Structures are given as structure tokens and as C-alpha cells.
Amino acid sequence: MVSALQKIADTISHIITKDSIDRSTKKSLKEVLSFIQEENEKERLREAKLKVIVEESAIIRSDMVDIYNALKKQLDSIQDTSNATLTSLDKLLKDTESIAATTKDLTGKVGKIMDTADKIATDTLKYWDTVLSRPMQALRANADPKVLGDLDHKARQILVELFSTKGDITFGKSLTDLATKANEAIGEIVDIRKPKDIKVEMLFKTH
């Protein structure tokens, strides 16, 4: 599109070249034409700069949009990670509370089991003491000697599971051989807590 100044410049150029005018007027018109041309050049340069600015602005705007989209994507990812973390923490907290409640319940049950075990042990010891307790002297005087002997034997009786490294069969040996072997083993024991003159007087085999 031709500007107004350009139209004026074209008209002045036509007057200078076509019309007969005096020298002074022609000179003035040429000065005006030169001014117009300078202004047109300045306008052209301004338009070129403006075009460059617009193009650069478009590039900057495009870059800003890309940066915004990249930042938004990262922020969305961070938000998703935060939400997932909060969900995991909430689940972990609930699991921890559940474990604590279960542990408390188990602790109570273990305490009851321990109390029951202690009671069983106490009752067992009382029963054992009763079984091993000797009859009162008044009863012993009137009791059958064989019965008293059996009671004495049971009071000192122990059950031993024999194992031979030689691989021989224990049930194939006589009671005398077993008693001899047992006393030999007792004699080899070295311990300050070992009772004196301890030996096996009688034994029998059982499956």
C-alpha cells in the first residue's frame, strides 16, 4: 500500500520533470522531495525493525509456551508423586496402627500363656513333690518293706535314653552289663557338684 508521503513525493517528482517552473521553486520542491524520501526510508526501517520485533516476540512467545508446558508437566508429576506419597504414608500409618494393636493383643495373650505356664509348672512341682515325698514315719512302721523299698527306688529313679557311639544294640545287652557300663560312665564324670559314692544299684529296660 502506497503511503500519503509517497503519493506527495510522486506528485512533486512529476511537477519537477514535466512542468515548467522557475529554478528557485524547483530547488524548493527538490528539498521537499528529498525530505520525503528520507522520511520514507526512516519509515521503511521502522517497519523492518517492527517486523523483526514481532517475529522475535512470536519466537519468545513460543518459547515461553514451551517452557510453561514443560513446567506444568513437571509440576503435575510432582503433584502426582506427592499425592502417591501421602497415600502411601496414610496406608503405612494405618498398617502401623494395626500392627501396634495386634502386638498389644499378642502381648496380652503371651502374658496369659506365661501365667498359665507358671501355674502349670507350680502345680507340676507340687504334684512331683507329693509323688516323691516319703510316707509319714507312722505309716512307714506299719507298711510292707517291699512297698517301702519300691517307694525308695522310685524316689531315686531316673529315666535315661542310652546312646552308644559304637552302634551296638542296647536292648541286646544284659542288665549287669548295662549297670557296669553306667557306673563306668558315672566314674568318669569330673565335677565338684558330683555326689560322693554315687552308683547304679538296680536298673531295668523299657521301650
Contact 174, 204 (CB under 8 A): no
C-alpha to C-alpha distance for 115 and 106, rounded to whole angstroms: 14
CB–CB of 180/200 below 8 Å? no
Question: Which of 48-57, 82-91, 163-172, 180-189 bottoms out in mean pLDDT, i.e. has the lowest?
Answer: 163-172
On the question of pLDDT at 123 being above 80, the answer is no
Q: Which residue has the higher pLDDT, 163 or 52?
A: 52
Structure confidence by residue, pLDDT tens digits, 94-122:
888 888 888 877 787 777 777 777 777 67
DSSP letter at 206 equals: -
Q: How confident is the model at residue 165 (pLDDT cuts 50, 70, 90)?
A: low
Which three cell numbers, joined as nine digits, stand for 176?
Answer: 549287669
User: What percentage of residues in the chain have a pLDDT greater than 90?
Assistant: 0
Query: CB-based contacts of 175: which residues, under 8 Å, 6+ apart?
Result: 203, 204, 205
Q: What is the pLDDT of residue 149?
A: 78
pLDDT value, residue 193: 86
More confident residue, 6 or 46: 46
With cut-offs at 50, 70 and 90, classify the pLDDT of residue 23.
Answer: confident
33-71 residue pLDDT tens = 788 778 778 888 888 888 888 888 888 888 888 888 888
Is residue 181 scored above 60 in pLDDT? yes
Average pLDDT, the chain: 77
Asked whether the predicted pLDDT for residue 82 surpasses 60, the reply is yes
For position 121, what pLDDT does the model report? 65
